[in-house]
Amino acid sequence: MTEKNQEKHKARQQKVKEKVDQKVAEANIEQGILQVISGNGKGKSTSGFGTVARCVGHGMQAAVVQFIKGNWECGERNLLEKVGVPFAVMKTGFTWETQNRETDAQAAQATWQKAKAWLQDESIDLVLLDELTYMVSYDYLDLNEVLEALRNRPKMQSVIITGRGAHRSLTELADTVSEVRNVKHAFEAGIKAQKGFDF
Ligand code: ATP
Ligand code: MG
């Protein structure tokens, strides 16, 4: 780099820094964050669990509600329960394996009761509602009840909702919304779901 370019670069970076500093100074609201992680690509639940690990790593309290992963062994659960993260798991397994709408809806309701209790508990800093979007899409849970529970949660509590096809009311209410796009997935090339990677 010539000296002149160096100067230009420095001036540009200084401007960027000023803008970032200003934005950081302006972001002074202290409150829990509602995040929705949706889309068809892989990485929604793992992202949610990453934040749970981050929370627990600070000595804070997280709770996990899993809406359709009942019969799968879950690596994160094995680890996180050991460090005091409570789990509520809907026990019906993947919905396309179960044929009974009635029992699925009942299981969803029972699991939701636990979620609701955590959404009223100030001692819980983060609630992960894994795969909740499907419960709303299938009408197993009442959308308005879900929205109300999210709105009325303790001010400092953060919540993460994962799952494809998030209802618009959920993304509208959320503070942070991420869409994971599928570029390619190993499964499409015939590679089996791998323990320690996919579950
Ligand atoms: P992960 O739990 O790995 O973060 P996810 O939460 O984004 O995945 P889900 O829709 O909940 O994705 O699906 C869970 C399982 O399905 C995982 O084993 C994951 O590898 C697999 N999966 C995710 N996306 C795809 C895809 N686009 N094609 C095929 N399988 C997928
Ligand atoms: Mg998932």
**pLDDT of 3-23, one tens digit each?**
888 999 999 999 999 999 998
| Arithmetic mean of pLDDT, 105-128 | 96
Check pLDDT > 90 for residue 99: no
Residue 199: nearest ligand to its CA? 1
| 44 Cβ inside 6 Å of ligand 1 | yes
pLDDT, greater one: 66 or 99 = 66
Model-wide pTM > 0.85: yes
Check pLDDT > 60 for residue 191: yes
Q: In one letter, which amino acid is 95?
A: T
| pLDDT score at 96 | 58
Distance 131 CA to ligand 2 centre (A): 6
Q: Hey, what are 148's tokens?
A: 């109300």
| pLDDT score at 66 | 96
Q: Hey, what are 71's tokens?
A: 């019969």
| pLDDT score at 30 | 95
Distance 41 CA to ligand 1 centre (A): 7
| pLDDT score at 26 | 87
The shares of helix, strand and coil residues in the chain, as percent rounded to the nearest 5, are 45, 15, 40
Check pLDDT > 70 for residue 59: yes
User: What is the tens place of the pLDDT at every residue in 134-147?
Assistant: 999 999 999 999 99
End-to-end Cα spacing for the chain: 48
The H or E element spanning position 105 is: helix 101-118
Q: Hey, what are 114's tokens?
A: 């636990």
Maximum CA extent, the chain: 73
Mean pLDDT of the chain: 93
| Arithmetic mean of pLDDT, 179-195 | 96
| pLDDT score at 14 | 93
Judged by average pLDDT, the poorest of 16-20, 44-48, 151-155 is 16-20
| 77 Cβ inside 6 Å of ligand 1 | no
R_g (Cα) of the chain, nearest Å? 20
CATH class of domain segment(s) 32-189: alpha beta
Counting from 1 in the atom list of ligand 1, the atom nearest the Cα of 187 is 29
141, 65 Cβ separation under 8 angstroms: no
Q: Which of 35, 36, 42 to mutate to test the pocket of ligand 1 (most atoms within 8 A of CB)?
A: 42
| pLDDT score at 102 | 84
| pLDDT score at 97 | 58
Counting from 1 in the atom list of ligand 1, the atom nearest the Cα of 49 is 4
